[in-house]
Amino acid sequence: MEYFEVLDERVREQFRLDTNCSRECEETYAVCINESKNVEGSRRVEGLSDFFKAIIYKDYAYIMADKQILEWTREKYQKYKMEWFCKFENLRALDKKLFEYNHRIFDTHIYYLPDPDATEFEFDLEGITDEDNSLEVILMDESAINKLVKSEGFDRNSFIHALPGSKTQPDVIAAALKFNGKIVAIAGASKDSEDFRQIGVDVLPDFQGAGLGVYLVTMLKNQIIENGQIPYYGTSESHSISRLLAVRSGFVPAWCEVFSKEI
């Protein structure tokens, strides 16, 4: 499929934008370290800083650092084994250096990309549906999402991962599942850049465990691919349930990121 043949280069192009990295730098170095800069087209997370950012993808690393710590970053990481970047020993040293400049590590995340060899996961609705109950799936664009979140009785806090409402990463597409007319699960995706759509999902507690999240995330992933964009899914290293959902939805672990934030 042509989509997957060019996916790697499209992802790398985004990472170059995210870290002020030129193609020439990438072709010369496996560890690309550049001065922090807000480049047009880059992904920017509301509330986080450009002081330091690291993206570890396959056998490459894309790092940008503020000029105050650029020399230190190059000395420390130019020949570093980047597959071990997230070892606590290294993160402790990095956090200590950031703290000297009124910053700290905000988080580390694992991110997933679509798996071209994924098989569809079968989910079980037994105990949820019967002849007296019904499920309805709704696909929503940005306009429909905005209408939903402003509607009376809708509790956005119950779907904060699916529809976070970020100013820098607007919610642009979502799939919602209604049970007897009530929304019980939503998978939503934000526009993080021109190409990248980050998926989040929430399922109300009484409806968890039946695969509804997998069903909606899979549907949304496939729709985003059909639209010609890149769906991706992020979660914490310790969130095993979320990681399993990603794999069952047809994603594969692809890269990790380290973010910084001003104190």
Give domain limits for the chain: 2-114, 135-252
pLDDT, residue 63, reads 98
Q: Is the dihedral of CA 145, 148, 150, 154 positive or negative?
A: negative
- For the full predicted model, state whether its pTM sits above 0.85: yes
Three-state SS for 6?
coil
Q: CA–CA separation, 178 vs 185, rounded Å?
A: 7
pLDDT, residue 210, reads 84
pLDDT, residue 129, reads 56
Distance of CA 37 to the CA centre of its chain: 21
pLDDT, residue 128, reads 59
Token pair belonging to 233:
């899914």
Q: Which residues of the chain have pLDDT under 50?
A: none
**Tokens 């010609």, located at residue:** 228
Q: What is the pLDDT of residues 144-185, one digit of tens each?
A: 999 999 998 888 999 999 999 998 999 999 999 998 889 999
CB 114 within 8 A of CB 250: yes
CA distances from 137 to 5, 17, 85 (A): 31, 36, 41
135-252: which CATH architecture? 3-Layer(aba) Sandwich (3.40)
Nearest to 33 by CA among 83, 67, 84, 7: 67
Q: CA–CA separation, 216 vs 227, rounded Å?
A: 16
